């Protein structure tokens, strides 16, 4: 009998139709009693909040992290129900905050409420419970018969049940006629003691580069006391420097003590700012490169790093360190990567 802690935070899976639209309203015990789960689990339900995930912010990440840190020793695994819209941000943030977690922590939710006749919530919960009982520690997202590493999950569809993808990384597990089939080579390689590192800085801004962007936006961000900026640059890596010189502004921001991270707007494959002149000019300013990280991981990692230290050298060291599988290490074959699709 596996002991599973079910932490509930709201989201579509717990929604009912109201006069103002869908809103989290289902009682927490209904998540396991409404349709039932297969036998073999001893489930404890711990409600934290009933929120649409658009309202789950860094303060909620910290509360979730504290709850997990306080409770994980008493359970074989933890399932966290969460709205889909910001699930990838929460999964990434928890991956950094819960260093070397010793049990599986599995986030899941649904595209249709649990009360709906055609809900996908039951199937997603069963997949999450199976992964939580697997004995493989780490932070994961379970959705549509797939399990994804927490720092690699991205919501890529708004309505389809197959809402999440694993970006630049194989699936941790899939469900087929054999049951839950785990890809052991894709599991995170944890070592050392568990540590709760929950300090976080929410003064991080995400900027998607567009042709002709006014460089003065950086002056405004500096006046607003942002400590970090993540820039989604073009293609393999580039920012304009003719007429509207963004490179000069980046140099100014870094001298002012703001940490700048650059990544690609492309969802798949890594950035490489060393290839083109535009990218090399960016690297010369002292920015950090996100390589093949998801935007969600790049943003939450910067928030987490800036929460740990204000020292520029330590910021660079922490950000370039592969903390929770957010960077690729080149250890997967093309066939394994193809399985992601």
Active-site residue set = 12
Name 232's Cβ contacts closer than 8 Å, sequence gap at least 6.
Answer: 206, 207, 208, 209, 263, 264, 265, 295
How many Å separate Cα 281 from the centre of its chain?
30
By CB atoms closer than 10 A (0-12, 13-18, 19+), residue 21 is exposed
Query: Which secondary-structure segment (H or E) carries 288?
Result: strand 288-289
Give residue for tokens 């297969």.
38
Query: What DSSP letter does each residue of 29-60 carry, written as one string?
Result: THHHHSS---SSEEEEEEEEEEE-GGG--HHH
Q: Which two tokens stand for residue 47?
A: 């409600």
What is the rounded end-to-end Cα distance, in angstroms, of the chain? 34
How many Å separate Cα 109 from the centre of its chain?
14
């Amino acid at each position: 009998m596996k002991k599973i802690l079910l932490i509930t935070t709201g989201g579509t899976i717990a929604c009912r139709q109201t006069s103002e639209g869908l809103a989290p309203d289902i009682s927490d015990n209904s998540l396991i009693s409404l349709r039932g789960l297969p036998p073999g689990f001893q489930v404890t339900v711990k409600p934290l909040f009933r929120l649409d995930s658009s309202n789950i912010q860094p303060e909620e990440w910290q509360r979730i992290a504290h709850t997990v840190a306080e409770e994980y020793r008493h359970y074989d695994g933890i399932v966290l129900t969460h709205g889909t819209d910001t699930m990838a941000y929460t999964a990434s943030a928890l991956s950094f905050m819960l260093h070397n977690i010793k049990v599986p922590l599995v986030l899941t939710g649904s595209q249709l409420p649990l009360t709906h006749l055609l809900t996908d919530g039951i199937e997603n919960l069963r997949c999450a419970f199976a992964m939580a009982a697997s004995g493989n520690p780490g932070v994961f997202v379970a959705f549509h018969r797939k399990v994804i590493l927490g720092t690699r999950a991205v919501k890529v569809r708004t309505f389809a049940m197959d809402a999440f993808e694993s970006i630049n990384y194989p699936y941790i597990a899939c469900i087929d006629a054999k049951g839950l089939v785990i890809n052991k080579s894709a599991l995170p390689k944890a070592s050392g003691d568990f540590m709760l590192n929950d300090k976080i800085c929410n003064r991080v801004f995400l900027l998607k580069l567009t042709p002709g962007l006014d460089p003065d936006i950086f002056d405004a961000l500096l006046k607003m006391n942002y400590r970090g900026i993540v820039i989604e640059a073009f293609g393999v890596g580039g920012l304009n420097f003719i007429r509207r010189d963004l490179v000069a502004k980046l140099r100014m921001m870094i001298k002012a003590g703001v940490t700048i991270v650059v990544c690609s707007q492309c969802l798949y494959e890594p950035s490489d700012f060393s290839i083109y002149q535009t990218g090399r000019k960016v690297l010369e300013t002292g920015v950090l490169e996100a390589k093949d990280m998801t935007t969600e991981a790049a943003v939450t990692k910067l928030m987490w790093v800036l929460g740990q230290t204000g020292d520029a050298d330590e910021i660079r060291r922490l950000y370039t360190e592969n903390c929770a599988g957010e960077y690729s290490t080149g250890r997967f074959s093309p066939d394994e990567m193809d399985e992601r699709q």
